[in-house]
Amino acid sequence: MAERASVRISLQDLESTVSRMLSPFLGETMARASVIGHRDRLGIGGPEVNGDQVRALMEKIRAGLNVFVGREKSAGIVEEIVKALEQRGAAS
Amino acid sequence: MSRSAGVDVLFLIFAGVPALLFLCQPVFPGAGIYQGAASQMVFTYLASLTKLSFLALASRFAFLSAGRFERDNPIRPAWFLMAGGMLCTFLGQASLAPYQLYLGTPSPFPSVADLFFVLSYVFLVPGLIASMVAYRKAGLPIGTAAERWGVGLGVGLVCTAVGFAILRPIALQPAPPLEKALNLGYPILDFVLLIPTSLLLRIGLRFRGGQAGRVWLTLLAGFLVMCVGDVAFAYFSAFSQEQLFPIVHAMFILAYALLARGVVSQHGLLAD
């Protein structure tokens, strides 16, 4: 789940990974707009993003997905995204 | 072929073929397929049963989808309201079925069916507005309030202008008061429905390519075609253009099929 995200990752990687994994559900345009919108509202900036910021962003993403796929599935999708971010964070 | 593509093919066959047959009827009225009492009966059955089947499917899956969303999910009330609207449309259509399927007489207008059809808007309009509210609550980027007001007012103004042009001759046509009220009322209610539909369509276009976009764009296309069908019905009915009613049948078959497809997609999205 999003709570366990302890990853440090570049903002660019975060945006591209989350957008890519949301695209099958929200479409490319809305996926990207969602990530950018939440990023701005949460004040996430800088070259690198810490675990708390990833968690906060994932919580917003989960709430957005909730109205399309329900709570259980949105939690599963967010978990997949967090796993992918952790892999990217570990690789970088 | 994926399961979703297979379902698409089924919808295309069961909606596209009857709709095409009805659309061709006013163009080729002398064609053998449209001649004779038996043929007319087959077409009456086809129109009635196709519409009823799609509406039954739409309302059933809309209720199932609504029930699958958690109690505190902001979209749940929206789906229940839309399901209620689809059920009312089904009940309206079902109350016409005895005339169409058993008595073999033209459906009465106005009738109890109109009570259900009018009631459907009481659910559908708030249902669409509730969907927008749910999007906003979920933090989805749906544009600023000023943008939404701009689109809403713009569509409202266009509907008023188009409505005036379409409805004025209907209003001037001599007809019993209730019949005239319904012939004017349906297009007006449709124009009201068009405002949240347009707002959601604007948002939904940003979802295209995704599964959520597929659900909402199909559903909203259904509402749009339904509005066109209602306006066509009011116009043809007011000017006694009964030979053009097959176009109305085609519109409603397509509209209900699109609604059903959208709702089935939403259910699939929740159930997968």
For residue A9, which phi and psi values (nearest 5 degrees)? -150, 155
Token digits for A53? 């910021």
CA distance A75 to chain B (A): 13
Beta bridge partners of B194: none
Structure confidence by residue, pLDDT tens digits, A44-84: 887 888 888 999 999 999 999 999 999 999 999 999 999 99
Residue B230's pLDDT is 86
Cβ contacts of residue A2 below 8 Å, gap of 6+? A54, A55, A58, A59, A62, A78, A79, A82
Q: What global pTM score does this model have?
A: 0.91
Taking the CB of residue A41, how many other CB atoms lie within 10 A of it?
13
Residues B56, B90: Cα–Cα separation, whole Å = 6
Q: What is the pLDDT of residue B104?
A: 79
Q: Which helix (H) or strand (E) covers residue A10, if one does?
A: strand A9-10
By residue range, what is the domain housing residue B25? Answer: 3-271
Q: Is the confidence at residue A1, as pLDDT, over 60?
A: no
Q: Are A30 and B141 in contact (CB under 8 A)?
A: yes
- Is the pLDDT at A26 greater than 60? The verdict is yes
| DSSP-assigned letter for residue B108 | P
Total count of domains within chain B: 1
Q: Is the pLDDT of residue A4 over 70?
A: no
B140 touches chain A (CB under 8 A): yes
Q: Which residue has the tokens 């059920």?
A: B87
Residues with Cβ within 8 Å of residue B132, at least 6 apart in sequence = B142, B148, B196, B199, B200, B203
Distance CA A65, CA A63 (A): 6
Q: Which residue in the set B138, B206, B215 is minimally distant from A29, CB to CB?
A: B206
Chain A interface, mutation test: which of B64, B140, B272, most A Cβ atoms within 10 Å?
A: B140
Q: Using a CB–CB cutoff of 8 Å, tell me whether B75 touches chain A.
A: yes
Whole-number pLDDT of residue B106: 80
Q: Classify A8 as helix, strand or coil.
A: coil
CA distance B139 to chain A (A): 6
Paired with A9 in beta bridges are A49
- Is the confidence at residue A2, as pLDDT, over 70? no
* Burial grade of B199 (CB within 10 A; 0-12, 13-18, 19 or more): buried
Contact between A25 and A34 under an 8 Å Cβ cutoff? The reply is no
| Segment A5-18 mean pLDDT | 84
Position A18 pLDDT exceeds 70: yes
Per-residue pLDDT of chain B (272 residues; tens, 9 = 90+): 788 888 889 999 999 999 999 999 888 888 888 888 888 889 999 999 999 999 999 999 999 999 999 999 999 999 999 999 999 999 999 999 998 888 878 888 889 999 999 999 999 999 999 999 999 998 888 888 899 899 999 999 999 998 888 888 888 888 899 988 998 898 899 999 999 999 999 999 999 999 999 999 999 999 999 999 988 888 887 787 888 889 999 999 999 999 999 999 999 999 87
Give the nearest chain B residue to A60 (CA atoms): B139
Q: Which domain holds residue A26?
A: 2-91
> Which pLDDT value is given to residue B156?
93
Q: Is B139 on the interface with A (CB under 8 A)?
A: yes
CB atoms within 10 A of CB A2: 18
Q: Please report which residue ranges of A1-92 form alpha helices under DSSP H.
A: 11-42, 51-91
Q: What is the pLDDT of residue B193?
A: 94
Other C-beta atoms lying within 10 Å of the C-beta of residue B120: 24
The identity of residue B27, as a single letter, is: V
Nearest CA in chain A to B68: A70
What does the alpha-carbon distance between residue A35 and residue A11 come to, in Å, rounded to a whole number? Answer: 11
**Domain total of chain A:** 1
d(CA A24, CA B213): 10
Mean pLDDT of chain A: 87
User: Hey, is B139 helix, strand or coil?
Assistant: coil
Q: How confident is the model at residue A91 (pLDDT cuts 50, 70, 90)?
A: low
Q: Percentage of chain A surpassing pLDDT 70?
A: 88
